[in-house]
Chains A and B, each alone.
Chain A
Amino acid sequence: NAGVTQTPKFQVLKTGQSMTLQCAQDMNHEYMSWYRQDPGMGLRLIHYSVGAGITDQGEVPNGYNVSRSTTEDFPLRLLSAAPSQTSVYFCASSSGHQPQHFGDGTRLSIL
């Protein structure tokens, strides 16, 4: 049982490039979320999904797109990378009011 798997673990991009961060969970959880973690800021919610085909914005959605075509996968797309998007990105999943399960994160640097 792998839990929440994020790929890649590390990525360096140039300003203006686009990329997709992958997140997959094997627990059949209906809820999935993407957060970014910056020094001294804790985690901030980017986008979340309450089920396949349903997504909504979090606190800091600008510059990011998501889709949820299956229960298992919740990719995060950076449309045109900016240095301000340098951060550690975490994906999480949960069911009902149960606690969230987190992946190990993707460390993203934008030059």
Chain B
Amino acid sequence: SQQGEEDPQALSIQEGENATMNCSYKTSINNLQWYRQNSGRGLVHLILIRSNEREKHSGRLRVTLDTSKKSSSLLITASRAADTASYFCATRPASGTYKYIFGTGTRLKVLA
């Protein structure tokens, strides 16, 4: 399988704590994207980081990318109950194809 791996598979934290989830991938990439999926819904884009970028911020989200290790992390600071969802990384290959490869996802539960 070409799928990326995410860890942890599931994460449960208290409201106000930070949540960190990691993504590893197998091939050289053009960019890496993080998506959120609420139960029973489609995926919603959170943040995109290009292969020549190392860190990116968007509100309470911080994404890092280490292309030498083929890995990325998503940090959600000061989590809220509304952050409860599954989070997926997706990579677009450097070869230029449109064949996005998704990770297996992290299920985050934020307890109020």
Among B4, B6, B43, B48, contact of A102 (Cβ-Cβ < 8 Å): B43
Q: Give the residues from 1 to 60 in chain B that come closer than 8 angstroms, CB to CB, to chain A.
A: 1-4, 6, 9, 30-31, 33, 35, 40-45, 48
Which A residues are in CB contact (< 8 Å) with B103?
A: 42
- Residue B104 at the chain A interface, CB threshold 8 Å: yes
Chief secondary structure at chain A's binding surface: strand
| B99–A42 CB distance below 8 A | no
| B45–A99 CB distance below 8 A | yes
Return the chain A residue nearest B1 by Cβ: A59
| In the complex with contacts A33-B100, A99-B45, A105-B42, A42-B105 CB distance below 8 A | yes
| B33–A43 CB distance below 8 A | no
Return the chain B residue nearest A91 by Cβ: B42
Question: In the complex, A30 Cα to B95 Cα: how many Å?
Answer: 18
Question: In the complex, A59 Cα to B101 Cα: how many Å?
Answer: 9
Which B residues are in CB contact (< 8 Å) with A44?
A: 3, 102
Which A residues are in CB contact (< 8 Å) with B6?
A: 42
Among B2, B45, B104, contact of A100 (Cβ-Cβ < 8 Å): B45
Which A residues are in CB contact (< 8 Å) with B101?
A: 45, 59
- Nearest CB in chain B: distance from A44 CB, A: 7
Which residues of A are in contact with B by a Cβ distance under 8 Å?
4, 31, 33, 35, 40-45, 48, 50, 56, 58-59, 90, 92, 97-105
- For the complex of A and B, the 7 pairs showing the least CB-CB separation, nearest first, are A102-B42, A99-B45, A43-B102, A42-B104, A42-B102, A102-B43, A104-B42
